[in-house]
Structure 1
C-alpha cells in the first residue's frame, strides 16, 4: 500500500484545536463503525484526556454510537488507579465517566502491580481483543490495527512513553513495554510497531513550550531517536498533526524565510 503523507491541521487557538480534534475523532469513529461494526480508540497522557471533554457535550454526546467504542491506552504510569498521575484516572475524570461507554469495553493497564507485570498483562489483554476481532489485525504485520491512536507531543519530542534514545524505540516483537523515566518512575507504553500499525494516528501539539520540539520534529534536524515523534509513521494508515498557532510559530516562521 502506498504511504500516505502526514497531514498538518493548524488552529488559531487551543480551544479551536480541541473542537477540531473532537470532529475528527467522531468522523473516524463513524467510519470505523460503518466499515467494521466497532471503533477502537487509544488514549494517551498530556492534554489528551482534557481535550476529549468536548465529546461529553452537545452535539457529540448524542451523535456518538458509544456502545460500539472500545477504549485502550497508549501509555500508563505505574501508580495506583486513583493516583492523580494515573492516565486512566485522568481520562475517567474528564471523559469516561461522562459518556455511556460500556465498562467491558474499557481495556486499561493493570494498577497496583510492577511495571513488567502490567506491561505483560496489558499485552495479553490486547491480544485477546484481537482474537475476538474487537481490534482488527494488521494486514502487514502481527500487530493490532487500532482505528485511532491519539498522542500528545512532549517537550522533549516524545510521544506516549517513548522517550529520546530509549532502547524501547528499537523494540520489534513486543506490543507493550515497561520503561523507566528518569530512572525512577515506571510507565507502560505501546511500542512503535503497534502505533505504526494503526489505521489513524493523531498527534496534538499546543502551547509555546512545544514550538521548538515541534519545529525539530517537522524539519528532522535531530538524529533519529532523539525526537521519538519523528518515528511515528503509520505503515498502512494516516498521520494527522493537530497544532495550535503557538506550537507552530517557529515552524511557520522558518517556512516564511525559505
Structure 2
C-alpha cells in the first residue's frame, strides 16, 4: 500500500464544488491518457451528490468543463431488477443525474445490465463482465479493467458496492464481476465489481455524508476491525488513490488526519 487514503471534511456548501474539482481532474487526466473517461458509479445517496457537483454552472475554464460526450458510465454494483424498478441503481442515476443533463449537452454512454437475466444473478454477472471485457480488453488481454475513477458509497455496516462484511465474495481474486444471491440488504440478488477491480482503479472516491456515517467512519479509520470491512479493505489496498468526501457531521470525532480542500 502507498500512503494513507485522503479524508476530506467539508461544510455543506463546500462538498459539491470540491467533488466537482476531483471528478473533473480525473476526467481531464483520463482524456490525456486515452480521450475517454471510464467511471463506475454506485447508488444510494451518491448520484444526488454527484449531480449537484456536475450540473453546477461551470467557471468557464477548460479544466472546469464536463464533457459527457467522452464519458462511459458503468455500475459498480446493480440489483437484479428491471431498469425501471425502484431498487435499480440505473433508475436512480437516470433520475438524479442523466435526466437532468441540460438539453444541448451530450449524454454519456451508459452500460446497463441485461434485464433478460434477472432471474439468474450469475448469468447477469457474466454478461456484464463481457461488456467490461469488450471495453477494457478489446485489443489485448488484461488481468483487471482499469477504471479512471470509481465513485462509491459506504454503508452503515462498512459495505461498499455489493461487497458485504465477512462475505466469501471478498476473497474472489480473478472474476471482474461477481453475483450475490444472499445480500444482507434487499433485494437479495445483485451483481458487483470485485474487490481487486475496485482497488485497481486509477482513483477511488467515497462519498459519505450525515451523522449516521460517523460511527462506521470511526471504525474504518481507527480500528483494526474496521480495516477488515469492505471499505477498510479498499483503503488498505489502494492507499493514497482513495479520497473520502465527507461532511462535518460524518467526520465528527474521527481521529484521522483530515484535509480541508481539493480546490
Verify same fold: TM over 0.5. Answer: yes
Q: Which residue of 1 aligns with 2:208?
A: 205
Alignment pair present for 1:189 and 2:192: yes
Greater relative contact order (CA < 8 Å, ≥ 6 in sequence): 2
Aligned mate of 1:109, from 113, 134, 148? 113
Listed as ranges, the matches of 1:146-185 within 5 Å are 146-179=147-180, 180-182=182-184, 185=188
Q: Once the two structures are superposed, what CA deviation does each residue of 1:75-116 show, in whole Å capped at 9, x if it has no partner?
A: 01111110111000100111122334546x211222242211
Alignment pair present for 1:88 and 2:94: no
CA distance in 2, matches of 1:189, 1:232: 14
Where do 5+ consecutive residues of structure 1 fail to align? none
CA distance in 1, matches of 2:254, 2:238: 25
CA distance in 2, matches of 1:38, 1:53: 20
CA distance in 2, matches of 1:137, 1:22: 33
**Secondary structure at 2:127 match in 1:** helix
8 Å CA contact 1:69–1:101 kept in 2: the answer is no
Q: Which residue of 1 aligns with 2:223?
A: 220
The structure-2 alpha-carbon separation of the partners of 1:65 and 1:97, relative to structure 1 and needing over 3 Å to count, comes to same
Aligned mate of 1:251, from 235, 254, 257? 254
Q: Which residue of 1 aligns with 2:15?
A: 17
What is the CA-CA distance between 1:218 and the residue it aligns to? 0.3
Listed as ranges, the matches of 1:26-45 within 5 Å are 26-45=24-43
CA distance in 1, matches of 2:204, 2:224: 22
What is the CA-CA distance between 1:155 and the residue it aligns to? 0.5
Give aligned pairs, total.
245
The structure-2 alpha-carbon separation of the partners of 1:121 and 1:236, relative to structure 1 and needing over 3 Å to count, comes to farther
Q: Once the two structures are superposed, what CA deviation does each residue of 1:184-214 show, in whole Å capped at 9, x if it has no partner?
A: 6211100100001100001111111110100
Q: Which residue of 2 aligns with 1:229?
A: 231
Cα RMSD, aligned residues only: 2.5
Where do 5+ consecutive residues of structure 2 fail to align? 258-263
Alignment pair present for 1:98 and 2:100: yes
8 Å CA contact 1:119–1:177 kept in 2: the answer is yes
TM-score (norm 2): 0.85
Q: Which residue of 2 aligns with 1:79?
A: 81
8 Å CA contact 1:197–1:236 kept in 2: the answer is no
What is the CA-CA distance between 1:224 and the residue it aligns to? 5.4
Q: Which residue of 2 aligns with 1:52?
A: 50
Alignment pair present for 1:65 and 2:64: no
